[in-house]
Amino acid sequence: MFASRQEWEKEFLSRMSRFSAVIAVVASGLALSAAAQTPATPAPAGPPKVAVIAFQAAVTSTNEFQRDFGDLQKKFEPQKTQLKTLSDEVESLTKQLQATGDKLSDAERASKAKTIDEKKKQAQRIAEDAQNDYQQAMQDTFGKVAAKVDELLIGYSKDQGFTLVIDATEQQQQAPLVLYAAPSTDITKAIVDAYNTKSGVPAPAPAAPAPAASKPAAPKGPSAK
């Protein structure tokens, strides 16, 4: 259990960010699936032509993924707000109990402590449900875009005459260890640019800067509309 709002928010954000490992597994599975389903073609004459791509970074850098990810964040704002409200209530009730506990009867102290504990458990359930739902939604969001990026990557690689494309995404399993790659072999940005052009999804608008707190708004005159 947590005793402060900061701890609740830290736990929520931690739970909401635990999808990178899952994404890596999905990306790895897509790459293996594509390799298994792509029919073998005769090797072109001449030396092999190798390219490197950070597949996970390519997917998450596309305008489509950035748009969908922003929508996903907004979808889970109610849970985050609800958790913050509960953590504020727990913090307030805990301070009240600490300040007035010696003036209360045993029954009153027990009742207030029970209320605090119930709110903590409620927040814990919300956080766990939100984590599970968020992780599944992230898998769906990533997988949808990754499948299309993978398809584009295969076509692009064939057009460019690559004989081998290595995924340089850092993963715990089934990932090649790339010790060095010349910048000219990295096609990550080229794939992202090609995908953005094909999808037609515009880049997300940059976040508006927060207004300066020390600068008061100018008063409106009588003729202001």
- For 21, what's the count of Cα atoms within 13 Å in the CB-facing half-sphere? 5
Quick one: which of 202, 197, 193, 188 has its CA closest to 57? Answer: 188
Angle at 123 between CA 119 and CA 128, to 5 degrees: 150
Q: What is the pLDDT of residue 104?
A: 83
Write down the pLDDT at residue 36.
Answer: 46
Sequence-distant (≥ 6) Cβ neighbours of residue 120 within 8 angstroms: 1, 2, 90
Low-confidence ranges of the chain (pLDDT < 70): 1-46, 170-177, 179, 207-225
Residue type, 183: P
